[in-house]
Structure formats: structure tokens, C-alpha cells
Amino acid sequence: MLEIQIDHARCNLCGHCIDSCPAPCLGFDEAETKLEVFDLDLCLICRNCEIHCPKDCLVVDFVEWEATREFRGMVRRVPGRRQ
Amino acid sequence: MLNTRLEDTDVLIIGSGGAGLRAAIEARRYGVKVTVVDKVVLGMNNSTRYSGGGIKAALPGILSTAYTTQYECPREHFRQAMIHGEYLNDEALVEIMTFEGPARVLELKSLGVDTFDAMYLKVHYPHGSGLMGPLVNTARKMGCTLRPGMVITRILVEGGRVVGAAGVDIYRGRCAAFRSGAVVIATGGAAETFLRNDTTVNTTGDGYTLALDAGASLRDMEIVQFEPYVQAEPGLPMLDRHEAEAEFHGVLRNALGEDFLVKYLPAVKAGQVPFEEQFGMALTDIRERVARAMVTEVAAGRGDQGAVLFDLRHVPAGKWESDFASQYARKVLLRGFDVQKRPVHVLPGAICTLGGIAIDGDCRTDVPGLFAAGEATGGVHGAARLGGDGLLDPIVFGARAGRSAALASNVAPSVSKELVEEARAEVASVLAEGPANLEILGKLRDQVKRTMWEQVGILRTGEAIAAAIPVLDELAERVRATKVRSLRQFKSRLETLNLARVGRVIAGAAQRRMESRGAHFRTDFPQRDDERWMVNQFVRQDGRKLAYTESPIRLRTTELLKQSKFGIEVK
């Protein structure tokens, strides 16, 4: 399934992922202490959040998703990340 | 307490979409110091990047493919753009776009964009992504200063001239001010004002409010274009399915299973979906008509879950494999939803605002030193936009704005301390300790979008708009009254305020134009009225009020337009 995995231990709450998302998928909680996935239905799988994360703590996991297996190469590759 | 850091630059460019980066590259060619600021990340979260269409200019034989035919000559392009825009366009601007367009498109190659690959579905999806990456790289290589996370709150005007801009730097947690001789607004449109839209969440019309506050005027703000085939399936992103419609002739059905377009478009044969290439210029406003038909069906109670059905079941399976965009859209963006088994729900959504900051051919606004380019400007597309012009406009006018700004930056602007302090105090006054108001802001934003969509949307009536205006005013006041805890929340607050303010401007202009023209449709005045309404509407901020003025349109090229083979009468 489609999933955005966040490594909260490494996240430094810079917000680059939120800013790079074209949809309101990601956001902080009220106290701005934790990154949350708000609405995965709106995700376009553009992988902007993965690319812009300076701490490398986000993964848009769609690889195991059956419908998209053949599309791994078509969606933008993230430099230095296993596909 | 918040500190302000003052930076010096020659040209400040607000926005890093197609127009902003093109302006930065052009200005940098003149050797001046260029700073590009964006409220979010650079170049990767804007309408150009997520554009699904191609670019069209008079390049026959060079960039023509099976998907997109280019215009034979700039004159033909000009004629089509004017007729399509129903003469609300500024002739001078359309001339510039159509006659300068081909050169600008070919020039993209020298900026690292492989035009053919980028535009014709071969490598990238969405198609604009092939354009933005190289432009960001080129701007960086040329030595432009790039500042992401910088929210500009006001343009600094002193002695009737622009001297810079002030805002907040979210990433560094401080206020920022720029001293510059020229400022280019390239912030894009305000499609996010409507509940249903297929643009990114950042298109909140920030440039419109900046220009209004600086004293510039906006034109034709009532014109908002709606894309008909935007997905309305629960659990799927709101994206348009135009590519499927154009290639495969999908059929729109209501809840009863009828192919209802036949009722609204007599020329259409059952089982076929019309699009521009099929009908040419005979039906200039085909997108608008289809969108109106869909909304009318839903309003009449023949919708299914508040939307209509887009039937692609009859498309042969092999056809889906023919191009990258439809494969990607079908398999990735549909999340396993099988359009070959059941129809997908669609309903129109806002795609762009065609009105905007009034500019002349050199992208100058009413305020000396302030320039604008791209979707933030008005007058290029008139009352309806030709497909393919949406990307041509920022490329052409971005370059023009960059050149004009570079030439106008030869002044030594001095920013008084009071101005900077005033801007800082404005930010500080809404920052407060205590409970956060994010939930309230989210609700207000939703209310603005809902009000605009329901009352100032595709089918407009005088009463509905009149009822919406006080609501929007009140919502703006309620946003002004909220306090926030952090700069990031300050950005949300500013965006919500901008949505309410821009919504108010759109509603006011729509209420005044008592006719239907292009994308603007009033059910109480369904005909085009060339006697009374061959006028452009301008609006400027007058204290707390909006002052609307009209300026009659005098066409220079009437004879040329009359020669059109579809013979639309011009008075």
C-alpha cells in the first residue's frame, strides 16, 4: 500500500517536506513538535518530500504496492536512495 | 523578540515558478544582483511544475507531434487567442506573447530544457516538471541568490517608488527586509480560493494582495477558469483527467446513465466528447460549456454523489499503454481504481485565475519599480485561455519582466527604518503566546473556499454573490483577529487572509459584470452584451475599500479578427 514513513527520531522539524508538498498531505501537530501525515488520499507520489528532506527521514513507500511496481522507474528517482 | 535582517539586492523576484525563474535568469544576464524568494521550496511546488499541459507557439514543423499541433503563424495564434478570450485581452500583450513566443520556446533549450521531452509526455509527468528542474539549475549556476521559506508580507513603497520588500524568513525564524530598486511579482494565481481546484495548495493569490497594498491595480478579476474533468472520487487526489478525455473520447454520464452533453451542446454526437481539436474554433469556450453542463446536471439533481460520471470503459485496453501520462495517471494516481471496470466521478475545479495585476508590454505596473509576470498578471488571456498558452505566458513575460526590472534597478533606494520597523511590528503583533489557533484558521480557510465555490463558482447569480460578499468580509475580519504562535502558523494566517481578500475582489468584480463572457457565466444574464460590457474592469485598494473602475475596449485589429474563418462578429 501507499504509505509515508517518517523516522521521528531523525526529524528536526524543519518543515521542508510540508513546504514541498503540493497537497495538504503533511503537517505539524498544534504544538509543532511532531510531523504528521494528515491526508494520504491527496498524495500525488511526486516524492518532493523525500527529495527535500535534509535528514533523509522520509520515505514514500509505494514500491511494494502492486499497482505501481512497474512504475518504479517512471516516478522520479531520489538520488542516493534505493529504488 | 523578532529581529530583522536587511539585505541588499538589485532585483527582487517574489515567486519561483516558471515566470519567476525566467525573470531571474533574464535579469541576471544584465549582470545585476538578483534574489529569488519563495514562500516554500524553490521551483518545485508551483503551478508550472504541476502543469499537465503542453506549450504551444507558432513553431510548425519544429515541435508538432501527434498530440499537439502548433500554430501555423503567430498571426493565426494571435487571432485565436483574441477570439477565444472574447476581446477582454489586451491586444498589445497578446501580440507580444504570440510573436515573441516561438523564440522564447526555442530559447529554453539554451537554459537546459529539452523542450520536446519536457512537453510531449515522453519522460516526465506532470509535464511541467521537465521545465522546472533545468530552470532552477540554470538560475543557480548563473549566480542568483535563492531564498526559500521567505514569506513576503508587504512591498515597501517610499516617495511613490518601490524600494524593496519585507517579510518573514520561516526557516531562520526572523523577519527579513530587502532593499532593491525593482521588485517582480511572480506569485501565480489564486485557484485555491475555490473549494475544488487542481492546483497546488500554494496558489493563494499572495501577489494580488501585495500589489493592491502597494497601490497597483488589478484587472478582470471576475474571470476564473474551471477545468471540467477533475476527479471527485473519494480517496483520490483532485487531478484533472483531461489527457484521457482528449485521447480516448470518454463519455460523461449523469446518475441516470445518460450522455448528457448532447443536451447542452447540440453539435455533439452521442458517444463523443468534444474537445478543441475536434471542433476547432467553432466552439471557442468548449471547456467552459462542458463545465457548466456538468454543474447544471448536478444542480438539477441528476448527479451521483454530487458529481457526474466519466465513463472510460469502452476504451480498448491496449490504448492505455500508448502514452506515459495516461499509464501513470491510471496506475499510480488512481490508487488501483480500475477505470476500465467502472466510471470515475468527476466535477469541475478551478485551474487558474485569468485576471490579475494590470501590466503594460514591459511588465510595468502602476507603481514605479514594481513589475509582474505570469499568472499573477491579467489581460493576456482575456475571458478564456487557449490550451497551451498557460506555459507560454510565464516564459515570454517572465523574460520581459526580468529585463525591465534589471534596467529599472539603476537607482540607489533607501529604506527608512520606520518602514522596516512597521513591517516587523505587523508580524510581531499577531504573534502571541497561548493556545494555538490552527484549527480555527483551518476552518476559516475552508469556509472561504466553500463560500467561493458555492456562491461565486461556475454558475453565478447576482443574489448569491451579493450574499457572499459580506460573508467574505466577515471571514477576513475573523482571520485578522486571530493570533498565532509561530512563523509557520503566521504563513497559514496570511494565506487564509489573502484567500478571503482575493475572494472578495473576485466576488465584487463578478457582481458588477452583468453579462456572460468566456469563463464568467451569470445565470441571470446568460448572453454576451457587447453594447454595454466591452469593458475591462480595474480594481484598486482605496483605504479599506475596493475601488472598481471600467475602461472601454477599443480593438485595433478588428479587420484581422473579422477574417477569421469561423467569422465571429466583432462590433
Residue B439 touches partner A, C-beta closer than 8 Å:
yes
List the single residue in B with minimal CA-CA distance to A3: B335
Q: Is the peptide bond before B413 cis (omega within 30 degrees of 0)?
A: no
Residue B45 touches partner A, C-beta closer than 8 Å:
yes
Domains of chain B: 4-224+351-408 (3.50.50.60), 229-347 (3.90.700.10), 429-552 (1.20.58.100)
Look at the block and give the residue holding cell 471571514.
B475
Q: How confident is the model at residue B485 (pLDDT cuts 50, 70, 90)?
A: confident
Written as nine digits, the cell of B516 is 456572460
> In Å, what is the CA distance from B307 to each residue of A23, B37, B194, B229, B291?
21, 39, 16, 11, 11
Written as nine digits, the cell of B314 is 469502452
Give the HSE-up count for residue B128: Cα atoms under 13 Å, Cβ half-sphere.
Answer: 24
The pLDDT value recorded for residue B556 is 85
The pLDDT value recorded for residue B122 is 45
Nearest alpha carbon to residue B496 among B554, B452, B548:
B452
Cβ separation of B149 and A19 shorter than 8 Å?
A: yes
Inter-axis angle of helices B487-512 and B206-214, nearest 10: 80
Cβ separation of A16 and B335 shorter than 8 Å?
A: no
Residue A75 reports pLDDT greater than 80:
no
Cβ separation of A22 and B239 shorter than 8 Å?
A: no
Interface contacts (A, B; CB < 8 Å): 81
Interface of A with B (CB under 8 A): 2, 14-16, 19-24, 28, 30-32, 41-46, 48, 51-52, 62, 66-68, 70-71, 74-76
Look at the block and give the residue holding cell 527535500.
A52
The percent of residues above 90 in pLDDT, for chain B, comes to 56
User: Could you report the per-residue pLDDT of B58-83, keeping only the tens digit for each?
Assistant: 887 666 554 556 788 888 889 888 88
List the single residue in B with minimal CA-CA distance to A41: B235
User: Could you report the per-residue pLDDT of B339-385, keeping only the tens digit for each?
Assistant: 888 888 999 999 999 999 999 999 999 999 999 999 999 999 999 98
Task: Lowest mean pLDDT of B218-227, B325-334, B429-438, B505-514, name the range.
Answer: B325-334
Give the HSE-up count for residue B571: Cα atoms under 13 Å, Cβ half-sphere.
Answer: 10
Over residues B396-418, the mean pLDDT reads: 92
User: Could you report the per-residue pLDDT of B445-481, keeping only the tens digit for each?
Assistant: 999 999 999 999 999 999 999 999 999 999 999 999 9
Cβ separation of B45 and A21 shorter than 8 Å?
A: yes
Residue B561 reports pLDDT greater than 80:
no
Separation CA B534–CA B539 (nearest Å): 17
Residue B273 reports pLDDT greater than 50:
no
Residues of A in contact with B204 (CB under 8 A): none
Identify the residue with better confidence: B38 or B570: B38
The pLDDT value recorded for residue A11 is 92
Cβ separation of B336 and A32 shorter than 8 Å?
A: no
Whole-number average pLDDT of chain B: 86
User: Could you report the per-residue pLDDT of B526-551, keeping only the tens digit for each?
Assistant: 998 888 999 999 999 998 899 999 99
Rounded CA Rg of chain A = 12
Nearest alpha carbon to residue B7 among B135, B156, B113:
B156
CB atoms closer than 10 angstroms to residue B278: 15
Written as one letter, the residue type at B345 is: H
Q: Tell me how close the Cα of B138 comes to any Cα of chain A, in angstroms.
A: 19
Separation CA B285–CA B263 (nearest Å): 16
Separation CA B292–CA B273 (nearest Å): 15
Over residues B274-284, the mean pLDDT reads: 45
The pLDDT value recorded for residue B412 is 78
Q: How confident is the model at residue B150 (pLDDT cuts 50, 70, 90)?
A: very high
Cβ separation of A30 and B439 shorter than 8 Å?
A: yes
Is B219 in contact with B378 (CB distance < 8 Å)? yes
Q: How confident is the model at residue B395 (pLDDT cuts 50, 70, 90)?
A: very high
> In Å, what is the CA distance from B557 to each residue of B245, B284, B392, B480, B553?
34, 19, 22, 47, 12
Over residues B401-416, the mean pLDDT reads: 91
Written as nine digits, the cell of B463 is 443574489
CB atoms closer than 10 angstroms to residue B4: 18
Dihedral sign, CA of A2, B120, B14, B350?
negative
Q: Is A41 helix (H, G, I), strand (E, B) or coil?
A: helix
Q: How confident is the model at residue B26 (pLDDT cuts 50, 70, 90)?
A: very high
Residues of B in contact with A16 (CB under 8 A): 41
